[in-house]
Amino acid sequence: MEARREHFLSGVDRQAGSRSSRVVLWPKGRWGLMLGAAVAAGAAVVVLTLDFGSPGAPHNVPPASAASVELLERAALAAATTPQTKVRDGQYSYVKTVGHTSVLSETKAGEMELLRQDEAMEQWTSVDGSERTLQRKDGNDNLLPGTPGRGNLNSPTYDFLAALPADPDALLKRIRDDAEKNHGAGSDSTTGPDQEAFVTIGDLLRNGVTPPGTTAALYRAAALIPGVDVVPDAVDAAGRNGVAVARTHDGERTEWIFDKSTARLLGERTVLVENNAWGAAGTVLTSVAVITYGIVDEAGQTP
């Protein structure tokens, strides 16, 4: 790990020349909005995803545990019985989240320090992808570049989510096929398609407003991924206790936290399960809680 770090930092020095650079190492996961904010602020930021395991996907991973399958089925049934929201073109899906992520930053003295960055935000996404997405952070409104269009797995619209396969096997195949392109055999990724599929499903579920049938299918698709298990007690970024469906990869455990009574998704977090450059086992690297969501007529409105 130290040799990799030194090689990386020497490369940064060559690129930066005489300029003073601040190197920020980001944990694995999809927190690209923070990178955008850093670039907008004019920071000299170099992004590196750290992988602490050996290359290639893990072998002999057991199927999802019985407890996780049961919890995911409870969540699927709860979603399937949720009344269908009437949605029309021109409306927006709204979601409000609170949370944080961590960055590992090198100081001028050459030491590494773990910093926590707030990620509370509100976001309005055009349901049909015809308008730009409005994001509100720290009281400031920003229109994200471009329009969503039809949407995709990394940037979904309500219409895109509604068109996904309702069959869990077909849905997981769609997601895994996409993951294979960048994380499958022959790629430089150590994430692997199973972990990437789990992360992708978590991102889609945290999107805010997802059609009930799609939500149920996503939960059932997750139950088909090897290595999924349950964490009996977890706390989301809003301080709410719940039970989590989780998957561990390269020393990090990704947790989807559910209300123990209703099986409603509360949020998601990433926790270290072994000591590494990011900190000691038990350190929460990222955490996000879904506070409010719904369909509204205009960007800037709340349900």
- Residue 183: predicted pLDDT: 65
Say if residue 120 is exposed, middle or buried (CB neighbours under 10 Å; 0-12, 13-18, 19+): middle
How many angstroms separate the Cα of 137 from the Cα of each of 37, 118, 134, 263, 302?
10, 10, 10, 29, 15
- CA-wise closest residue to 255 among 215, 196, 181, 198: 198
Token pair of 52, please?
């602490």
HSE, CB side, 13 Å, CA atoms: give it for residue 265: 34
pLDDT at 166: 96
pTM: 0.80
Q: Residue 125 corresponds to which amino acid? A: T
- Cα of 147 vs its chain's centroid, Å: 21
CA distance 224 to 227: 9
Q: Which two tokens stand for residue 57?
A: 């996907």
Name the strand (E) or helix (H) holding 43. none
Gap between the Cα atoms of 117 and 145, Å rounded: 23
pLDDT by position in tens, the chain (length 303): 343 334 333 333 333 333 333 334 445 444 433 333 333 333 433 333 333 333 334 468 999 999 999 999 999 999 999 998 899 999 999 999 999 999 888 888 888 888 999 999 999 999 999 999 999 999 999 999 988 898 999 999 999 999 999 999 999 999 999 988 876 666 666 778 999 999 999 999 988 789 999 999 999 999 999 999 999 999 999 999 999 999 999 999 999 999 999 999 999 999 999 998 888 999 999 999 999 999 999 999 999
186 phi-psi bin (left φ>0, alpha ψ -120 to 50, beta other):
left
Q: At what angle do helices 193-205 and 212-222 cross, to 10 degrees?
A: 150
Rounded to 5 degrees, what angle do the CA atoms 99, 35, 91 make? 65
Question: Looking at the DSSP assignment, which residues form a beta bridge with residue 57?
Answer: none
* pLDDT number for residue 189: 66
